[in-house]
Structure 1
Amino acid sequence: MNQKSKTYKFILSGGGTGGHIYPAIAIANEIKQRYPDSEILFVGAKDRMEMEKVPQAGYNIKGLWISGIQRKLTLKNLSFPFKLISSLWNARKIVKQFKPDVAIGTGGFASGPLLQVAASKGIPCLIQEQNSYPGITNKLLSKKVDKICVAYDNLERFFPEEKIIKTGNPVRQDLLDISSKKEEAIKHFNLVEGKKTLLVLGGSLGARAINQLIERELDYLQTLNLQIIWQCGKLYYQTYKLYGNTKHVQVHQFINKMDYAYAAADFIISRAGAGSVSELCIVGKPTVFVPSPYVAEDHQTKNASAIVSQNAAIMIAQEDLKVDFKNKFGQLVANLEKQEQLSNNIKQLALVNATKDIVGEVEKLLNK
């Protein structure tokens, strides 16, 4: 029987944030392309965003009653042991019923119990770690799984070296040819041709500190002769939408055509989540990272530092924005050579075939 026509079963788990969900969906889409008859099941955490996003992408999902341990002493931690027992019990039932050929985890609460159970049953397992500093779930699973696909160097500090494959993070395929879309992008956003464009990103929900920065420095940015595409996020749109009345400033709750936004941009200010960093490497525009200090293990600072160490971006700590922003950003806008250098260097770090390479590793596990 042709391997491609054989009906394989794949179980995927990842969630809690878009950074864990979207890679899992990208991997599932690539599997479906290679094995159209395959069965794919997702497992997520009940009440988290994967329970909505995965069905929207066309896949079935089952939910586990699981959450993370709070880092501070809190009453929520009292329920954690019960949730863990419940989710391990239900993960066992799901695995027994579905009988997957391979289990794939992309981080987040639910992937812990699911891959723990799958590995204990001898099912080949692969995890994908998006960040330069792994989360606790993937650190614990690394001893049990067969392969670990990563996006950064030097992760043998946390994972068994012989299991690591550097693939990069899955990204949207429509970003691969943005240089050809600049003209369409300028029309789409109704921008002034020939005027430099600053794209401001704070993630789908928004980033308060970045929004406050743009509000505070709006007059200054206009003295630099920039037009601004400002994605302020769902949580902050009502507060900042009034600035959309300012000349050469447009405020968006969410940007659907991200390929056009990237194509139009000459400069980008962004958080440093793993998905954003991987996209920005492919996009190759001069970027200022403002890492979120509120994430586990301060991983955004570590993600951004890995890029900055290659002289491929600028980083300003959130607490230093008031003091450093005008100086650092102003110097960047004034220095064409620096812009070119950052742009060329960040492109060198792009891993454009990540999704294909990860699924290539999954295929090897099918023959295990």
Structure 2
Amino acid sequence: MRIVLSGGGTGGHIYPAVAVARQLEAEAEGSAFLYIGGKRGLESKLVPQENLPFKSIDITGFRRKLSMDNVKTVLRFLKGVRASKAMLKEFKPDVVIGTGGYVCGPVVYAASRLGIPTLIHEQNAIPGLTNRFLSRYADTVAVSFEGTESAFPGSKRVIYTGNPRATTVMTASPQRGYASLGIPDGSTVVLVVGGSGGARAINQAMIEMAAAVGRDNKAHYVYVTGEAYYEDTRKALVAKLGHLPSWLHILPYIHNMPEVLACTSLIVNRAGASFLAEITALGIPSVLIPSPNVTNNHQEANARQLEAEGAAVVVLEKDLSGQSLHAAVQRIITDEALRAGMSEASRRLGKRDSAAIVVDELRRLAAAGKG
């Protein structure tokens, strides 16, 4: 099969597309890929690192108030459609998949105008603007959260697939995770992370809760600060504690996140959809602190889905402090029955075969397109 992938802006849009490519590679030797992303997006850096052929178009998103920038965005969209059509005619894909972000708009729209079968994947419980627009043109809409199919009432076909990123973590080695952190195998690990770039509010709560953790600690705490916050957070922790104890591990970034997740007993994190797919695939209980700075407050909607099933505790950022975070973590980490129940609930929500389901749908679309 020949597949064009598109998705950009954040890792949450990029990694599901990469997971689909990896699944198709495993299933069908000789598959060919082209990833069309934005010139300014994170995909321009991450996708080449994944050894996937990459081409770019220039695209920006709409502002939510009247602005001359929106006129420029429309012009960039039209130019992006023309550029995408040229790339698609040259590559001749069997099907095009978009996984979110503004760049998908011109790519998937161009494919639909050329009669190429298309699939879009929505990671969040509340659809993004681009996918809402594209749902009128795509042949299939795939959703990550069961029960959110109704968010696309005018679509030709909507299916529940889960998030393909869930499949990626299933082969990760917990032993390698422990080894990479310098933590003995079998230890209880509490992973605190504020997303790939870190989160100032979570870092501040981590600093505030550190002394209390030391008094009742029976676990290894791994604090991932984000590169921009690392030095200041580390200095603040040393100032508060006098030194960095052996149970406290401060890191700016984790490059082998699937392996670290595989050895994690409890995670404190934002509520990005791809991350939630990973932790539910592995059955990890969570304390979720949704970012309030996202479109349509979709992270809280994501988090509430897990909370409703008993897989997570939600702490809103306005209620976040060292004390509230410590209380939430300690209640879970010291109650084995509670943690086991949350783990089972998390695992029930996991869609570990998601990438395979998406690939099956791509095959169906490709076959229908050739018919």
Considering the TM-score relative to the shorter chain, is it more than 0.5?
A: yes
Q: Name the aligned partner's letter for residue 223 of structure 2.
A: W
Q: CA deviation at 1:366?
A: 1.5
Q: Name the aligned partner's letter for residue 309 of structure 1.
A: A
Rounded to whole Å, the distance in 2 between the matches of 1:217 and 1:55 is 39
Query: What is aligned with 1:219?
Result: 211
Local SS of the residue matching 1:268: strand
Supply the RMSD in Å over aligned alpha carbons.
Answer: 2.1
Q: Name the aligned partner's letter for residue 201 of structure 2.
A: A
Aligned pair 1:276/2:275, yes or no?
Answer: yes
Aligned pair 1:191/2:183, yes or no?
Answer: yes
Rounded to whole Å, the distance in 1 between the matches of 2:262 and 2:82 is 48
Decide which of 87, 90, 109 is 1:94's aligned counterpart: 87
Q: CA deviation at 1:315?
A: 0.5
Local SS of the residue matching 1:236: helix
Aligned pair 1:302/2:296, yes or no?
Answer: no
Decide which of 115, 123, 126 is 2:108's aligned counterpart: 115
Higher relative contact order (CA 8 A, sep 6+): 2
Matching of residues 27-176 of structure 1 within 5 Å: 27-74=20-67, 76-160=69-153, 163-171=157-165, 173=167, 175-176=169-170
Rounded to whole Å, the distance in 1 between the matches of 2:149 and 2:224 is 36
Q: CA deviation at 1:361?
A: 0.5
Local SS of the residue matching 2:56: strand
Structure 2 unaligned residues grouped into runs of 5+: none
Give the count of matched residue pairs: 359
Structure 1 stretch displaced more, 319-328 or 220-229: 319-328
Q: CA deviation at 1:353?
A: 0.6
Query: What is aligned with 2:363?
Result: 363
Q: 1:158 to 1:194 in 2, by over 3 A?
A: closer
Q: 1:111 to 1:260 in 2, by over 3 A?
A: closer
Q: CA deviation at 1:330?
A: 3.2
Q: Name the aligned partner's letter for residue 260 of structure 2.
A: A
Q: CA deviation at 1:339?
A: 1.2
Work out whether residues 139 and 156 of structure 2, in 8 Å CA contact, stay in contact via their aligned partners in 1: no
Work out whether residues 222 and 251 of structure 2, in 8 Å CA contact, stay in contact via their aligned partners in 1: yes
Matching of residues 3-42 of structure 1 within 5 Å: 8-42=1-35
Local SS of the residue matching 1:144: coil
Q: 1:34 to 1:195 in 2, by over 3 A?
A: closer
Q: CA deviation at 1:62?
A: 1.6
Q: Deviations over 1:305-348 (max 9, x none)?
A: 01101111101001101373343333323322211111111111
Q: 1:223 to 1:162 in 2, by over 3 A?
A: farther
Query: What is aligned with 1:3?
Result: none
TM-score, with length taken from structure 1? 0.91
Rounded to whole Å, the distance in 1 between the matches of 2:115 and 2:258 is 41
TM-score, with length taken from structure 2? 0.90
Q: 1:51 to 1:67 in 2, by over 3 A?
A: same
Q: Name the aligned partner's letter for residue 201 of structure 1.
A: V
Q: 1:224 to 1:193 in 2, by over 3 A?
A: farther
Structure 1 stretch displaced more, 193-202 or 271-280: 193-202
Query: What is aligned with 1:287?
Result: 286
Structure 1 unaligned residues grouped into runs of 5+: 1-7
Rounded to whole Å, the distance in 1 between the matches of 2:258 and 2:99 is 24
